[in-house]
Amino acid sequence: MRQSQLFGKTLRGDSKDEVSANAKLLERGGFVYKTMAGVYDYLPLGLRVLAKVQQIIREEMNAIGGQEAFLTVLQPRERWEKTGRWKTLGDEAMYQFKDPSGREVGLAFTHEEALAEIALRSIQSYKDLPVFVYQIQTKFRAELRAKSGLLRGREFLMKDLYSFHADADDLNRFYFGPIDKAYRKIFKRCGFDIHFTEASGGAFTTEFTHEYQQFSPAGEDTVFYCLKCRFSQNSEIATVREGDPCPKCNDRIQMTKSIELGNIFRLGTLYSEPMGLLYADKKGERKPVVMGSYGIGLGRLIAAAVEIHHDERGIVWPESIAPFRVHLLELQEGMGAPIYADLQALGVGVLYDERDASAGEKFADADLI
């Protein structure tokens, strides 16, 4: 890519109403365009980063047997009424309205009900289990506190995987085994050092859940943790406080701000039973399918990468998700073209700055993006 042709130019100053590093640097670097609070457009540079993150996620989800689907965001009220979440989510976070025909519909920010209903056609017996289905799709959330750039949005991209099992034991094997290992690989490949953190289920389940937290002053969560054994609890459900002895190793509990990068939920039969999702076991008896759900916010992951990987000059991307492998700056006219051609022939992603601009401007933009 020739930088002179790049759609999305760098800006010289930060937006006055932005505080977080990711909001400032991603917009100033030409990665995103802010349409309104919590709603961002991805420009070509940002989309390249997003594509790298998607590829890493797909590789790890496919490696554990995940099958990719793509579900609708527009959802009928009747589907959500079955689980009682039409009212609870409408009060909290779900965009709900009437379409031109007068039918009540909503914009989903999660798909437990939808996939449980769809699974009625695929899951009939224990021989059909377990099965793992995921998607990477736009979600909408009526977020009253949309802030901090891509960390808290109203429209955002999410990877959500749903698992279907014959019993709780099989769910637990997947929950603490393949999916946990896959999540740890994803975050490590993207340049994070996560802490596996005990948390509440929120609007999804009454079960104990887990979050993948990246410690950062920019985070909105407060986490109590043990540096020695990596025990970690979200303050919302914490049974420990700063200075307490760790319940696992007796070392001292510390406290920090943190960014939640992903979460995993053991749903049990909370959604399968009201949706009528049953299977026949080996004896022919009908039993409810046991479910789990597992999410990663892609925009949040990108924002977190910027928050923990930047300096006073700009973003310092982990190589695995950098928009380009090489940034080639031509400081003398005609000298860069042969190198650019060689890199392209080798299949190396390269941003070639052949603009008619000063060396100082080119270096400043390179540091920024």
Span 3-28, pLDDT tens digits: 999 999 999 888 778 889 999 999 99
pTM of the model: 0.95
Tell me the pLDDT tens digit for each residue of 208-227: 899 999 999 999 999 999 99
Place of tokens 């995940």: 66
pLDDT digits (tens, 9 = 90+) for 245-283: 999 999 999 999 999 999 999 999 999 999 999 999 999
Q: Return the pLDDT at 208.
A: 81
Instruction: Give the pLDDT score at 249.
Output: 96
Structure confidence by residue, pLDDT tens digits, 326-353: 999 999 999 999 999 999 999 999 999 9
Q: Categorize the per-residue pLDDT at 172 as very low, low, confident or very high, splitting at 50, 70 and 90.
A: very high
* Predicted local confidence at residue 39, as pLDDT: 95
Q: Quick one: pLDDT at residue 206? A: 63
Find the mean pLDDT for residues 58-83. 97
pLDDT in tens, 89-138: 887 789 999 999 999 999 998 999 999 999 999 999 999 999 999 999 99
Give the per-residue pLDDT at 13: 84
The one-letter amino acid at 262:
G
pLDDT band at 205 (very low <50, low <70, confident <90, very high): low
